[in-house]
Amino acid sequence: MSKAKPEIKTIAVMRFSALGDVAMTVPVLKRVLDENPGLEIIMVSDSRLEGIFSGIGRLTFAGYDLKGKYKGIRGIYRIYDHLNTHYEFQAVADLHGVLRTHLVRFLLWIAGKQFAFIHKGRLEKKALIRVDDKILKPLPHSTERYAEVFRKLDFKVSSANYYTLGKGQYSQWFDKASNLSEPIHIGFAPFARHAAKMYNLDRFKEVIKYFDRERYRIHLFGGTRAEQLVIKQWEKDFKFVVPSTLGTGFKSELEMMRKLKVMVSMDSANMHLASLVDVPVISIWGPTHPYAGFYGFNQDPANAIQADLSCRPCSVFGNKNCWRGDHACMQEISAERVIKQVKKIIGE
């Protein structure tokens, strides 16, 4: 007679990098918690990302510094040991599916935990980006792949209408949107982790220049030291830029994003962060494609600006050089096209 599985009251959920992928776990976790009353979640991630999960009831954040104490093989064992020693849980949902999480999950399985892990669809993604005979079709969104992991553990998770964090109490601007005396706040995030995914910065400045006038307030977003140096220079170049509060943490950044009428970004983390607070995002796509499943959650597909080229997409993550050598997928997108889409959303 087989032994019955223990009831799952608390589950450890693992997802480390990248920032955008971690951000996309939020609407799924909120749906899981809402549809499974009494369940507790321990969110296991990079310690720097705690602010993304702020305010979610029945969720405890377990953060690990992957560049410090929890780096490498020894760090993997330390993550396992800390989780197994400091937290009570019955199952593990691996939303990452990389060597680190495979090993942590294996150790926890030996310790008696149930588990399920993500199916990344690598073969169908390869078919999407290959040079010849592409199969150009929408693949499951990352949030749906995450949801499926919980279903494997017999949790109820709906496929649609995931929650965003909402605009909340931080912005009263939306209550006054019809008042023409109030400035319109627009966010611009010109950077991406990989250079191939970035729109030409001079052309991006043309877009910002159009909106650098009294009616608007411009917010600039970037993360690395090099990006912040560019932002500081642009704050000098444009008159109506709101001084950046970068470096104050993700919670503060999300609060600032709530003020936006629209965000203009690359296929990048800021697209996903703005999506969490239900801000429309105009995203500029080059070597990557929304069909790969990484489009901003609940975003209108019409706001994805892309060049119609047979060579696209050529990369899932944008970490490959252009095999044509001309980066036409970005070069063929004019500043005027981006401006037109922003004007459409703000009603100009």
Q: What does the pLDDT look like over 316-334, one tens digit per residue? A: 999 998 989 999 999 999 9
- Per the CB < 8 A criterion, the answer to whether 288 and 203 are in contact is no
53 versus 172: which is more confidently predicted? 53
Residue 170 has what pLDDT? 30
- In the chain, where the domains are located: 10-152, 173-346
Q: Which of 29-33, 155-159, 244-248 has the lowest mean pLDDT?
A: 244-248
| Alpha helix segments (H runs only) across the chain | 19-23, 25-35, 72-86, 99-110, 122-129, 142-152, 201-210, 225-237, 250-257, 269-276, 328-331, 335-346
Q: Which of 21-30, 86-95, 320-329 has the lowest mean pLDDT?
A: 320-329
Q: Which CATH number fits domain 10-152: 3.40.50.2000, 3.40.50.300, 3.10.450.50, 3.30.450.70?
A: 3.40.50.2000
Q: Which of 52-66, 156-170, 223-237 has the lowest mean pLDDT?
A: 156-170
Same fold, 10-152 and 173-346: yes
Q: Which of 159-168, 276-285, 303-312 has the lowest mean pLDDT?
A: 159-168
Q: Quote the pTM value.
A: 0.91
Residue 233 has what pLDDT? 95
Q: Looking at the predicted structure, is the pLDDT value of residue 2 above 80?
A: no
CATH fold of 173-346: Rossmann fold (3.40.50)
Say if strands 184-189 and 262-266 run parallel, antiparallel, or are unpaired: parallel
Distance of CA 263 to CAs 19, 136, 148, 279, 326, Å? 17, 27, 30, 7, 27
pLDDT in tens, 193-251: 999 999 999 999 999 999 999 999 999 999 888 999 999 999 999 999 998 766 678 88
Q: Looking at the predicted structure, is the pLDDT value of residue 100 above 60?
A: yes
Work out the burial of residue 286: count CB atoms within 10 Å of its CB; fewer than 13 is exposed, 13-18 middle, 19 or more buried.
buried
DSSP 141: P
Q: What is the mean pLDDT of residues 107-125?
A: 97
Q: Looking at the predicted structure, is the pLDDT value of residue 87 above 90?
A: yes
> Residue written as tokens 């553990």?
153
Residue 5 has what pLDDT? 67
